[in-house]
């Protein structure tokens, strides 16, 4: 899927400290058309004055906390959520093979159609030179509930035709045996799963967006699976409960979410978040002051080191007091990110005190009080931070010379390190493991899905 998310808005523009949300605010101000995930282009207005003010001040975290899954914009009287907007290249979306929203919808729907061909028409894995006529497609289409028309899905170029065949054959190999599957993309059945997740996530605030819970692009349902949506899935009361029910349905092969990638010559199949027997990551230390820096006032970031790399925690909001999050650092490239909301969910799940909300840290950066200074200084003292002034009074004097983004970011970073240091080694490893796995949609609270790529 290529839907715009809050995480996208909080990223920097290439080669700039300016955040990507400013692209959206400028378009709205200038009455320029914005692309929707449906493929349409519309001129947007803010849904209300509060949302407008929050966007104009760059307080994306508050918008995410207070208006998650709600309409933020209107166009000709019609409301639109952030997820209705297309993640175009200017917001960090892909080009070329990544396709636009309309193309993505076509290719994901086509994978459903080709899977139905394999299950109900060929009734076997199909060779690349198979001749598929209109009547065969029409018969397969009867087993699909997708967002695209039959004609649009039968007009694939050779590369997508081959990819769809590879995917269909792999799904047939893995799930053949049941004779009542239907294949869904964007259907009302899929919406029942997604809406239940969103309902719970509004309360638990575990994920920044749906794809972090499950990146499934299509679903496979049996008749029983469709009934389970109302008799079981809809009854879920928490993410833990929802995941349990979804895993049961996955294991019985009644509800199968599938994440898709374009394939060229071969297929890799994987199952994720099924038995929760995930890898363990070992906490190996922290870095509050870089080796090249003399003290904590020289940089706003902190690092959590672990057995598979490290996670950098800092504000990615440029001059705005927002966007504090962790970003995994690997040997060859940056890995996924975890923002403050999901991080606090992880801490809460492990019965670790949560960090202050982004807005609170931002307020202290502008208007500190004595309790804030005491907590900030004593935390740094507990962590034996290099170059820390010997008195709180001297610390406050140095603090006043820093930038507001440093104050906002370093405060949250030190509190996180303190919370980790006070845990037992085994509990610390569990927390860091969940943080590490979150970005790959494999945290202990992510949903089940298979992936073909």
Q: Which tens digit of pLDDT belongs to each residue from 178-226?
A: 779 999 999 999 999 999 999 999 998 888 778 889 999 999 999 999 9
Mean pLDDT (whole number) for 363-370: 96
Residue 438 reports pLDDT greater than 90: no
Per-residue pLDDT tens digits for 333-350? 456 788 899 999 999 989
Contact in structure between 442 and 278 (CB atoms under 8 Å): yes
Q: Report pLDDT digits (tens) over 289-300.
A: 988 888 999 899
- Tell me: do 168 and 233 sit in the same domain: yes
In a domain, 37, yes or no: yes
**Phi, psi dihedral angles at 351 (to 5 degrees):** 60, 40
Q: What pLDDT was estimated at residue 335? A: 65
CB environment 297-316: b (16+ within 10 A), e (fewer): bebbbbbbbbebbbbbbbbb
- Asked whether residue 444 is assigned to any structural domain, the reply reads no
For the chain, what percent of residues have pLDDT higher than 70? Answer: 94
Q: Are residues 106 and 179 in the same domain?
A: yes
pLDDT at 2 over 70: no
**Same domain (yes/no): 253, 105:** yes
**What confidence tier does 97 reach under pLDDT thresholds 50, 70, 90?**
very low
- pLDDT at residue 15 tops 90: no
In terms of domains, do 295 and 343 share one?
yes
Domain presence at residue 15: yes
Cα gap 392→422, rounded to integer Å: 22
- CA nearest to 25, candidates 87, 94, 73: 73
Does 124 share its domain with 251? yes
Coil, helix or strand at residue 259: strand
Same domain, 289 and 421: yes
For range 93-99, the mean pLDDT: 47
Residue 265: pLDDT above 50?
A: yes
The residues, ordered by sequence, that sit 6+ positions from 185 with a Cβ below 8 Å of its Cβ are 105, 108, 109, 111, 112, 144, 145, 146, 147, 148, 217, 218, 219
Angle between helices 223-231 and 239-251 (to 10 degrees): 160
CA–CA separation, 160 vs 169, rounded Å? 14
Model pTM greater than 0.75?
Answer: no
Q: At what angle do helices 158-175 and 101-116 cross, to 10 degrees?
A: 50
Once rounded to an integer, what is the mean pLDDT over residues 236-243? 94
Indicate if 247 and 303 belong to the same structural domain.
Answer: no
Among 91, 118, 142, identify where a domain stops. 91
Question: 254 with 311, same domain?
Answer: no
278 or 154, greater pLDDT? 154
Residue 295 domain-assigned? yes
Side-chain-side CA neighbours of 169 within 13 Å: the count stands at 17
Residue 86 lies in a domain: yes
The half-sphere exposure of 221 on its side-chain side, counting CA atoms within 13 A, is 24
323 and 203 co-located in one domain = no
Mark which of 91, 116, 138 sits at the end of a domain. Answer: 91
- What CA–CA distance (Å, rounded) separates 448 from 229? 15
Between 339 and 89, whose confidence is greater?
339
Residues 184, 260, single domain; the answer is yes
d(CA 122, CA 302): 56
Q: How far is CA 408 from CA 61, 85, 400, 413, in A?
A: 13, 30, 13, 9
Give the mean pLDDT of 14-21.
Answer: 73
pLDDT value at residue 92 = 67
Cα 143 to chain center, whole Å? 30
Mean pLDDT along residues 318-340: 78
Q: Are residues 114 and 167 in the same domain?
A: yes
What pLDDT shows up at residue 95? 44
In whole angstroms, how far apart are CA 300 and each of 17, 18, 297, 322? 14, 17, 7, 13
18: containing domain = 6-91
pLDDT at 447 over 80: yes
- Which whole-number Å values give the CA distances from 156 to 118, 152, 171, 452, in the listed order? 17, 8, 20, 19
pLDDT of residue 117: 97
pLDDT mean over 62-81 = 86
In this prediction, residue 332 carries a pLDDT of 44
State whether the Cα torsion 193-197-198-199 is positive or negative: positive
* Percent of the chain whose pLDDT exceeds 90: 63
- pLDDT score of 333: 46
Residue 93 confidence (pLDDT): 63
When mean pLDDT is compared across 34-38, 51-55, 129-133, the lowest value belongs to: 34-38
- Looking at the DSSP bridge assignments, the partners of residue 80 are 73
Does 224 lie in the same domain as 349?
no
Contact 313, 325 (CB under 8 A): yes
Total of domains in the chain: 3
Return the pLDDT at 18. 74
The overall average pLDDT reported for the chain is 89
Q: Is the pLDDT of residue 442 over 60?
A: yes
């Amino acid at each position: 899927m290529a839907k715009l998310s809050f995480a996208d808005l909080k990223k920097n523009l290439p080669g700039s400290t300016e955040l990507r949300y400013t692209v959206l605010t400028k378009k709205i101000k200038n009455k320029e058309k914005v692309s929707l995930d449906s493929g349409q282009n519309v001129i947007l207005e803010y849904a209300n004055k509060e949302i407008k003010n929050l966007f104009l001040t760059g307080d994306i975290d508050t918008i995410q906390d207070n208006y998650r899954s709600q309409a933020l914009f209107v166009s000709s009287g019609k409301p639109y959520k952030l997820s209705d907007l297309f993640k175009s290249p200017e917001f960090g979306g892909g080009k070329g093979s990544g396709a636009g929203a309309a193309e993505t919808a076509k290719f994901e729907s086509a994978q459903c159609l080709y899977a139905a061909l394999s299950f109900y028409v060929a009734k076997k894995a199909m060779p690349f030179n198979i001749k598929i006529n209109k009547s065969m497609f029409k018969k397969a289409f009867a087993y699909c509930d997708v967002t695209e028309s039959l004609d649009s899905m039968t007009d694939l170029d050779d590369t997508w035709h081959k990819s769809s065949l590879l995917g269909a054959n792999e799904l047939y190999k893995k799930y053949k045996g049941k004779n009542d599957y239907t294949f869904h993309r964007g259907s009302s059945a899929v919406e029942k799963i997604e809406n239940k997740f969103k309902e719970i996530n509004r309360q638990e605030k575990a994920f920044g967006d749906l794809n972090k819970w499950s990146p499934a692009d299509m679903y496979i349902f049996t008749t029983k699976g469709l009934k389970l949506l109302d008799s079981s899935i809809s009854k879920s009361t928490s993410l833990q409960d929802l995941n349990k029910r979804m895993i049961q349905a996955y294991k019985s092969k009644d509800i199968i979410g599938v994440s898709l990638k374009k394939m060229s010559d071969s297929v890799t199949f994987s199952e994720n978040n099924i038995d929760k027997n995930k890898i363990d990551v070992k906490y190996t230390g922290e870095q509050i002051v870089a080796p090249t820096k003399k003290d904590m006032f020289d940089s706003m970031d902190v690092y959590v080191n672990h057995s598979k790399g490290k996670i950098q925690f800092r504000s990615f909001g440029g001059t705005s007091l927002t966007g504090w999050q962790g970003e995994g650092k690997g040997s060859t490239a940056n890995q996924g990110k975890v923002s403050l909301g999901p991080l606090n969910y992880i801490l809460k799940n492990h019965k670790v005190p949560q960090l202050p909300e982004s807005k609170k840290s931002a307020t202290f950066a502008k208007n500190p009080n004595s309790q804030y200074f005491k907590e900030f200084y004593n935390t740094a003292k507990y962590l034996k931070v290099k170059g820390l002034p010997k008195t709180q009074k001297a610390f406050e004097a140095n603090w006043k010379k820093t930038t507001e983004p440093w104050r906002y970011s370093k405060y949250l970073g030190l509190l996180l390190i303190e919370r980790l240091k006070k845990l037992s080694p085994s509990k610390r490893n569990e927390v860091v493991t969940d943080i590490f796995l979150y970005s790959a949609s494999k945290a202990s609270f992510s949903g089940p899905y298979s992936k073909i790529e």
